[in-house]
Amino acid sequence: MLRIALVTPMLPVPHDQTRGRYIHETARSLGKLATVKTFFQTMQYPRIPGFKPRSFIYGSVGPDYTLDGCDVEAFTFPGVPVVSRGYNGHIASLALTPRVRRFKPDLVLAYWVYPDGFAAMRTARALGVPCIVGALGSDIHVRSGVNEKMTRRTIGGIDALLTVSEAMRQYAIREFGAPAERVHTIINGFNTAVFKPLDQPSLRAKWGVKPDEKMIVYVGRFVEAKGMRELITAFQQLAKDDPKVTLALVGDGVMKAELMALVASTGLTERVHLPGGQAPEQVAEWINAADVLTLPSWSEGYPNVVVEGVACGRPVVATDVGGTREILHADNGILIPPKNAEALAKALRQALDQPWDRPAIAAAMSRTWDDVAVETLAVCEQVARGARRR
Protein backbone atom coordinates (compact mmCIF):
# COMPACT_ATOMS: atom_id res chain seq x y z
CA MET A 1 0.00 0.00 0.00
CA LEU A 2 1.15 3.51 -0.82
CA ARG A 3 2.45 5.40 2.22
CA ILE A 4 1.01 8.91 2.22
CA ALA A 5 1.95 11.72 4.59
CA LEU A 6 -1.09 14.00 4.69
CA VAL A 7 -0.32 17.53 5.88
CA THR A 8 -2.95 20.10 6.83
CA PRO A 9 -3.70 22.96 9.26
CA MET A 10 -7.44 22.36 9.07
CA LEU A 11 -9.20 19.63 11.05
CA PRO A 12 -12.11 19.64 13.51
CA VAL A 13 -11.00 20.81 16.95
CA PRO A 14 -12.88 21.14 20.25
CA HIS A 15 -13.16 24.93 19.89
CA ASP A 16 -14.29 24.73 16.23
CA GLN A 17 -15.98 21.47 15.22
CA THR A 18 -16.84 22.67 11.70
CA ARG A 19 -13.24 23.42 10.66
CA GLY A 20 -11.78 21.06 8.09
CA ARG A 21 -14.54 18.43 8.25
CA TYR A 22 -14.01 17.63 4.56
CA ILE A 23 -10.30 17.00 5.10
CA HIS A 24 -11.10 14.72 8.02
CA GLU A 25 -13.53 12.76 5.84
CA THR A 26 -10.99 12.54 3.00
CA ALA A 27 -8.20 11.37 5.33
CA ARG A 28 -10.46 8.78 6.95
CA SER A 29 -11.60 7.31 3.61
CA LEU A 30 -8.12 7.47 2.06
CA GLY A 31 -6.84 5.53 5.06
CA LYS A 32 -8.93 2.56 3.95
CA LEU A 33 -6.99 2.37 0.66
CA ALA A 34 -3.47 3.40 1.65
CA THR A 35 -1.26 3.78 4.70
CA VAL A 36 -1.98 7.37 5.71
CA LYS A 37 -0.54 9.40 8.55
CA THR A 38 -1.99 12.88 9.06
CA PHE A 39 0.32 15.65 10.20
CA PHE A 40 -1.81 18.37 11.78
CA GLN A 41 0.35 21.48 11.93
CA THR A 42 -0.90 24.77 13.36
CA MET A 43 0.77 28.09 13.90
CA GLN A 44 1.40 29.08 17.49
CA TYR A 45 0.79 32.79 17.98
CA PRO A 46 2.64 34.84 20.62
CA ARG A 47 0.73 35.43 23.82
CA ILE A 48 0.45 39.16 23.24
CA PRO A 49 -2.89 41.05 23.24
CA GLY A 50 -3.99 41.71 19.68
CA PHE A 51 -1.84 39.00 18.11
CA LYS A 52 -4.65 36.69 17.11
CA PRO A 53 -6.02 35.60 13.72
CA ARG A 54 -8.97 37.56 12.38
CA SER A 55 -10.50 34.87 10.18
CA PHE A 56 -10.92 31.91 12.55
CA ILE A 57 -11.25 31.04 16.22
CA TYR A 58 -7.80 30.52 17.64
CA GLY A 59 -7.14 27.84 20.23
CA SER A 60 -4.31 25.55 21.19
CA VAL A 61 -4.17 21.92 20.06
CA GLY A 62 -1.95 19.66 22.15
CA PRO A 63 0.07 16.60 21.10
CA ASP A 64 -2.63 14.41 22.68
CA TYR A 65 -5.08 15.43 19.93
CA THR A 66 -6.93 12.50 18.35
CA LEU A 67 -9.26 12.22 15.38
CA ASP A 68 -11.77 9.47 14.67
CA GLY A 69 -10.57 7.03 12.02
CA CYS A 70 -7.20 8.72 11.50
CA ASP A 71 -3.61 8.22 12.57
CA VAL A 72 -2.77 11.83 13.41
CA GLU A 73 0.22 13.68 14.86
CA ALA A 74 -0.45 17.24 16.01
CA PHE A 75 2.26 19.86 16.48
CA THR A 76 2.81 23.61 16.25
CA PHE A 77 5.31 25.99 14.71
CA PRO A 78 5.91 29.59 15.79
CA GLY A 79 4.64 32.57 13.83
CA VAL A 80 3.63 36.20 14.15
CA PRO A 81 0.59 37.49 12.21
CA VAL A 82 1.63 39.48 9.11
CA VAL A 83 5.26 39.82 10.29
CA SER A 84 6.32 36.21 9.57
CA ARG A 85 4.01 35.65 6.61
CA GLY A 86 6.76 35.24 4.02
CA TYR A 87 8.68 32.79 6.22
CA ASN A 88 5.87 30.67 7.64
CA GLY A 89 6.29 27.93 5.03
CA HIS A 90 10.01 27.66 5.75
CA ILE A 91 9.48 27.63 9.52
CA ALA A 92 6.69 25.05 9.26
CA SER A 93 8.87 22.74 7.18
CA LEU A 94 11.54 22.72 9.89
CA ALA A 95 9.01 21.22 12.30
CA LEU A 96 7.40 18.99 9.67
CA THR A 97 10.43 17.36 8.02
CA PRO A 98 11.76 15.23 10.91
CA ARG A 99 8.26 14.01 11.71
CA VAL A 100 7.55 12.97 8.12
CA ARG A 101 11.01 11.44 7.77
CA ARG A 102 10.22 9.02 10.60
CA PHE A 103 7.08 7.92 8.75
CA LYS A 104 9.05 7.19 5.53
CA PRO A 105 6.31 8.11 3.02
CA ASP A 106 6.18 7.42 -0.69
CA LEU A 107 4.46 10.77 -1.22
CA VAL A 108 3.42 13.94 0.63
CA LEU A 109 -0.15 15.21 0.17
CA ALA A 110 -0.99 18.61 1.64
CA TYR A 111 -4.26 20.51 1.90
CA TRP A 112 -4.02 24.34 1.92
CA VAL A 113 -1.52 25.86 -0.51
CA TYR A 114 0.43 28.32 1.63
CA PRO A 115 2.10 28.05 4.06
CA ASP A 116 1.29 24.36 4.55
CA GLY A 117 1.59 23.20 0.96
CA PHE A 118 4.88 25.06 0.64
CA ALA A 119 6.15 23.42 3.84
CA ALA A 120 5.06 20.03 2.52
CA MET A 121 6.86 20.69 -0.78
CA ARG A 122 10.12 21.55 1.02
CA THR A 123 9.80 18.46 3.20
CA ALA A 124 9.10 16.23 0.21
CA ARG A 125 12.12 17.59 -1.64
CA ALA A 126 14.31 17.00 1.41
CA LEU A 127 13.14 13.38 1.52
CA GLY A 128 13.30 12.81 -2.24
CA VAL A 129 9.59 12.04 -2.68
CA PRO A 130 6.89 13.76 -4.77
CA CYS A 131 4.42 16.31 -3.42
CA ILE A 132 0.76 16.94 -4.23
CA VAL A 133 -1.17 19.92 -2.87
CA GLY A 134 -4.94 20.26 -2.63
CA ALA A 135 -6.36 23.79 -2.96
CA LEU A 136 -9.65 24.36 -1.15
CA GLY A 137 -10.89 27.83 -2.12
CA SER A 138 -9.65 30.99 -0.45
CA ASP A 139 -6.10 29.60 -0.42
CA ILE A 140 -5.90 30.59 -4.09
CA HIS A 141 -8.92 32.89 -4.53
CA VAL A 142 -8.12 35.31 -1.71
CA ARG A 143 -4.40 35.91 -2.14
CA SER A 144 -2.40 39.13 -2.32
CA GLY A 145 1.09 40.44 -1.61
CA VAL A 146 3.46 37.93 -0.05
CA ASN A 147 0.73 35.28 0.15
CA GLU A 148 0.13 35.46 -3.60
CA LYS A 149 3.86 35.29 -4.35
CA MET A 150 4.37 32.24 -2.13
CA THR A 151 1.20 30.57 -3.42
CA ARG A 152 2.47 30.98 -6.97
CA ARG A 153 5.85 29.58 -5.96
CA THR A 154 4.18 26.55 -4.34
CA ILE A 155 1.99 25.81 -7.34
CA GLY A 156 4.99 26.07 -9.64
CA GLY A 157 7.08 23.63 -7.63
CA ILE A 158 4.75 20.73 -6.80
CA ASP A 159 4.13 17.57 -8.81
CA ALA A 160 0.34 17.95 -8.97
CA LEU A 161 -2.41 20.29 -7.80
CA LEU A 162 -5.86 19.09 -6.73
CA THR A 163 -8.83 21.46 -6.96
CA VAL A 164 -12.33 20.94 -5.61
CA SER A 165 -14.17 22.34 -8.63
CA GLU A 166 -13.63 22.74 -12.36
CA ALA A 167 -14.01 26.51 -11.99
CA MET A 168 -11.16 26.46 -9.50
CA ARG A 169 -9.03 24.33 -11.80
CA GLN A 170 -9.41 26.84 -14.61
CA TYR A 171 -8.63 29.68 -12.21
CA ALA A 172 -5.39 28.01 -11.08
CA ILE A 173 -4.32 27.49 -14.69
CA ARG A 174 -5.28 31.01 -15.78
CA GLU A 175 -4.18 33.08 -12.79
CA PHE A 176 -1.29 31.06 -11.35
CA GLY A 177 0.14 29.46 -14.48
CA ALA A 178 -0.42 25.92 -13.22
CA PRO A 179 0.36 23.38 -15.98
CA ALA A 180 -3.01 22.03 -17.12
CA GLU A 181 -1.80 18.42 -17.19
CA ARG A 182 -0.86 18.64 -13.51
CA VAL A 183 -4.16 20.05 -12.23
CA HIS A 184 -6.87 17.54 -11.29
CA THR A 185 -10.43 18.32 -10.24
CA ILE A 186 -11.71 16.09 -7.43
CA ILE A 187 -14.99 17.44 -6.10
CA ASN A 188 -16.00 16.85 -2.51
CA GLY A 189 -18.41 14.16 -1.40
CA PHE A 190 -20.62 14.00 1.65
CA ASN A 191 -21.36 11.57 4.45
CA THR A 192 -24.39 9.74 3.07
CA ALA A 193 -25.14 8.15 6.46
CA VAL A 194 -25.51 11.58 8.09
CA PHE A 195 -26.71 14.04 5.48
CA LYS A 196 -30.02 12.70 4.24
CA PRO A 197 -33.72 13.65 4.54
CA LEU A 198 -34.96 13.37 8.13
CA ASP A 199 -38.32 13.98 9.75
CA GLN A 200 -38.73 17.75 10.04
CA PRO A 201 -41.52 17.91 12.67
CA SER A 202 -39.66 15.76 15.18
CA LEU A 203 -36.42 17.70 14.68
CA ARG A 204 -38.22 21.01 15.14
CA ALA A 205 -39.65 19.73 18.40
CA LYS A 206 -36.18 18.60 19.50
CA TRP A 207 -34.51 21.95 18.78
CA GLY A 208 -37.30 24.26 19.89
CA VAL A 209 -38.38 25.41 16.44
CA LYS A 210 -42.09 26.17 16.12
CA PRO A 211 -44.04 24.13 13.54
CA ASP A 212 -45.12 27.22 11.58
CA GLU A 213 -41.72 28.90 11.38
CA LYS A 214 -40.31 29.61 7.92
CA MET A 215 -36.74 28.93 8.91
CA ILE A 216 -33.61 29.83 6.97
CA VAL A 217 -30.41 28.12 8.11
CA TYR A 218 -26.79 29.18 7.69
CA VAL A 219 -24.00 26.75 8.61
CA GLY A 220 -20.38 27.81 8.81
CA ARG A 221 -17.88 30.27 10.19
CA PHE A 222 -18.98 33.70 11.36
CA VAL A 223 -16.62 35.80 9.24
CA GLU A 224 -17.12 38.76 6.93
CA ALA A 225 -16.24 36.87 3.74
CA LYS A 226 -19.13 34.45 4.32
CA GLY A 227 -21.54 37.34 3.69
CA MET A 228 -22.78 37.48 7.27
CA ARG A 229 -23.63 41.18 7.27
CA GLU A 230 -25.58 40.79 4.05
CA LEU A 231 -27.44 37.86 5.57
CA ILE A 232 -28.52 39.84 8.64
CA THR A 233 -29.63 42.75 6.43
CA ALA A 234 -31.61 40.43 4.15
CA PHE A 235 -33.18 38.67 7.14
CA GLN A 236 -34.23 42.01 8.58
CA GLN A 237 -36.04 42.84 5.33
CA LEU A 238 -37.81 39.48 5.25
CA ALA A 239 -38.75 39.58 8.93
CA LYS A 240 -40.30 43.01 8.53
CA ASP A 241 -42.84 41.63 6.04
CA ASP A 242 -43.38 38.15 7.45
CA PRO A 243 -43.60 37.41 11.21
CA LYS A 244 -43.08 33.69 10.57
CA VAL A 245 -39.60 34.02 9.03
CA THR A 246 -36.76 32.98 11.37
CA LEU A 247 -33.04 32.42 11.04
CA ALA A 248 -30.73 29.72 12.45
CA LEU A 249 -27.01 30.49 12.57
CA VAL A 250 -25.19 27.20 13.13
CA GLY A 251 -21.52 27.78 13.83
CA ASP A 252 -19.17 30.19 15.51
CA GLY A 253 -16.48 32.66 14.61
CA VAL A 254 -14.69 35.92 15.22
CA MET A 255 -17.74 37.96 14.16
CA LYS A 256 -20.10 36.43 16.70
CA ALA A 257 -20.27 39.45 19.02
CA GLU A 258 -20.77 41.84 16.10
CA LEU A 259 -23.50 39.68 14.61
CA MET A 260 -25.33 39.46 17.91
CA ALA A 261 -25.17 43.24 18.22
CA LEU A 262 -26.55 43.62 14.68
CA VAL A 263 -29.41 41.24 15.44
CA ALA A 264 -30.16 43.02 18.72
CA SER A 265 -30.20 46.41 17.01
CA THR A 266 -32.94 45.17 14.67
CA GLY A 267 -35.06 43.84 17.54
CA LEU A 268 -35.02 40.34 16.07
CA THR A 269 -33.13 38.46 18.77
CA GLU A 270 -36.13 36.25 19.57
CA ARG A 271 -36.32 35.14 15.93
CA VAL A 272 -32.73 33.97 15.61
CA HIS A 273 -31.61 30.50 16.74
CA LEU A 274 -27.97 30.25 17.85
CA PRO A 275 -27.06 26.62 18.57
CA GLY A 276 -23.31 27.28 18.19
CA GLY A 277 -20.81 24.98 16.51
CA GLN A 278 -22.21 21.49 16.03
CA ALA A 279 -21.00 18.02 15.10
CA PRO A 280 -22.05 16.74 11.65
CA GLU A 281 -25.01 14.77 13.03
CA GLN A 282 -26.48 17.89 14.64
CA VAL A 283 -25.70 20.01 11.58
CA ALA A 284 -27.77 17.58 9.51
CA GLU A 285 -30.63 17.91 11.99
CA TRP A 286 -30.64 21.70 11.80
CA ILE A 287 -30.58 21.61 8.00
CA ASN A 288 -33.52 19.20 7.98
CA ALA A 289 -35.39 21.35 10.52
CA ALA A 290 -35.08 24.35 8.19
CA ASP A 291 -36.95 25.22 5.00
CA VAL A 292 -34.05 26.78 3.10
CA LEU A 293 -30.27 26.77 3.48
CA THR A 294 -28.23 29.81 2.49
CA LEU A 295 -24.55 30.53 1.88
CA PRO A 296 -23.93 34.16 0.78
CA SER A 297 -20.11 33.87 0.59
CA TRP A 298 -17.90 36.25 -1.33
CA SER A 299 -15.63 33.39 -2.43
CA GLU A 300 -15.79 29.58 -2.40
CA GLY A 301 -14.04 26.56 -3.85
CA TYR A 302 -16.70 23.86 -3.77
CA PRO A 303 -18.86 24.62 -0.71
CA ASN A 304 -19.56 21.39 1.08
CA VAL A 305 -22.41 22.79 3.15
CA VAL A 306 -24.29 23.43 -0.10
CA VAL A 307 -23.82 19.76 -1.03
CA GLU A 308 -25.00 18.72 2.43
CA GLY A 309 -28.05 20.98 2.20
CA VAL A 310 -29.04 19.49 -1.14
CA ALA A 311 -28.38 15.97 0.17
CA CYS A 312 -30.90 16.70 2.95
CA GLY A 313 -33.47 17.72 0.34
CA ARG A 314 -33.32 21.43 1.10
CA PRO A 315 -33.24 24.13 -1.57
CA VAL A 316 -30.23 26.41 -1.31
CA VAL A 317 -29.78 30.12 -1.93
CA ALA A 318 -26.09 30.81 -2.54
CA THR A 319 -23.81 33.26 -4.25
CA ASP A 320 -22.57 32.41 -7.73
CA VAL A 321 -18.90 32.06 -6.79
CA GLY A 322 -16.31 29.32 -7.35
CA GLY A 323 -17.80 25.90 -7.96
CA THR A 324 -21.24 26.64 -6.49
CA ARG A 325 -22.69 26.76 -10.02
CA GLU A 326 -21.53 23.15 -10.43
CA ILE A 327 -23.87 22.11 -7.59
CA LEU A 328 -26.95 24.31 -7.91
CA HIS A 329 -29.48 24.65 -10.72
CA ALA A 330 -33.11 25.66 -11.13
CA ASP A 331 -34.42 22.45 -9.53
CA ASN A 332 -32.48 22.67 -6.28
CA GLY A 333 -31.62 26.29 -5.60
CA ILE A 334 -31.11 29.90 -6.59
CA LEU A 335 -27.83 31.62 -7.46
CA ILE A 336 -27.29 35.31 -6.70
CA PRO A 337 -24.41 37.80 -7.01
CA PRO A 338 -22.17 38.22 -3.94
CA LYS A 339 -22.26 41.25 -1.61
CA ASN A 340 -25.88 42.04 -2.51
CA ALA A 341 -28.27 41.97 0.45
CA GLU A 342 -31.26 43.00 -1.66
CA ALA A 343 -30.75 40.14 -4.13
CA LEU A 344 -30.29 37.76 -1.20
CA ALA A 345 -33.55 38.85 0.43
CA LYS A 346 -35.44 38.49 -2.85
CA ALA A 347 -34.02 35.00 -3.51
CA LEU A 348 -34.72 33.81 0.03
CA ARG A 349 -38.31 35.02 -0.27
CA GLN A 350 -38.66 33.14 -3.54
CA ALA A 351 -37.11 29.99 -2.08
CA LEU A 352 -39.45 30.06 0.92
CA ASP A 353 -42.53 30.50 -1.28
CA GLN A 354 -41.65 28.19 -4.16
CA PRO A 355 -42.83 24.56 -4.12
CA TRP A 356 -39.80 22.25 -4.29
CA ASP A 357 -39.57 18.53 -4.97
CA ARG A 358 -37.50 17.81 -1.86
CA PRO A 359 -37.17 14.02 -2.37
CA ALA A 360 -35.91 14.64 -5.92
CA ILE A 361 -33.42 17.24 -4.66
CA ALA A 362 -31.94 14.75 -2.21
CA ALA A 363 -32.01 11.80 -4.61
CA ALA A 364 -29.76 13.60 -7.09
CA MET A 365 -26.84 13.69 -4.63
CA SER A 366 -24.89 10.46 -4.14
CA ARG A 367 -21.14 11.16 -4.18
CA THR A 368 -19.39 9.72 -1.13
CA TRP A 369 -16.07 10.41 0.56
CA ASP A 370 -15.00 6.93 -0.55
CA ASP A 371 -15.42 8.16 -4.15
CA VAL A 372 -13.19 11.12 -3.30
CA ALA A 373 -10.59 8.80 -1.78
CA VAL A 374 -10.51 6.53 -4.84
CA GLU A 375 -9.92 9.48 -7.18
CA THR A 376 -7.35 11.03 -4.85
CA LEU A 377 -5.44 7.76 -4.58
CA ALA A 378 -5.44 7.42 -8.39
CA VAL A 379 -3.66 10.77 -8.73
CA CYS A 380 -1.24 9.86 -5.93
CA GLU A 381 -0.36 6.57 -7.62
CA GLN A 382 0.09 8.28 -10.99
CA VAL A 383 2.46 10.86 -9.48
CA ALA A 384 4.35 8.20 -7.50
CA ARG A 385 4.85 6.08 -10.64
CA GLY A 386 6.16 9.10 -12.51
CA ALA A 387 8.59 9.88 -9.71
CA ARG A 388 9.88 6.30 -9.67
CA ARG A 389 10.46 6.40 -13.44
CA ARG A 390 12.42 9.63 -13.09
Which of 350, 256, 253, 372 shows the shortest CA–CA distance to 294? 350
Q: What is the mean pLDDT of residues 32-45?
A: 93
Confidence of residue 52 (pLDDT cuts 50, 70, 90): low
Is there a contact between 84 and 53 (Cβ–Cβ < 8 Å)? no
**Which domains can be identified in the chain, with CATH numbers?**
3-189+369-389 (3.40.50.2000), 200-363 (3.40.50.2000)
Q: What is the mean pLDDT of residues 302-321?
A: 96
Asked if residue 16 has pLDDT above 90, the reply is: no
Q: What is the mean pLDDT of residues 277-294?
A: 96
**Whole-number Å distance between alpha carbons of 176 and 170:** 10
The whole-chain average pLDDT of the chain stands at 93
Residue 83's pLDDT is 65
Would you give the DSSP letter of residue 339?
S
Q: How far is CA 323 from CA 136, 171, 227, 312, 329, in A?
A: 11, 11, 17, 19, 12
| Amino acid identity for residue 99 in this structure | R
Buried/exposed code over 238-258 (b: 16+ C-beta within 10 A; e: otherwise): bbeeeeebbbbbbbbbbbbee
Q: What is the mean pLDDT of residues 21-39?
A: 96
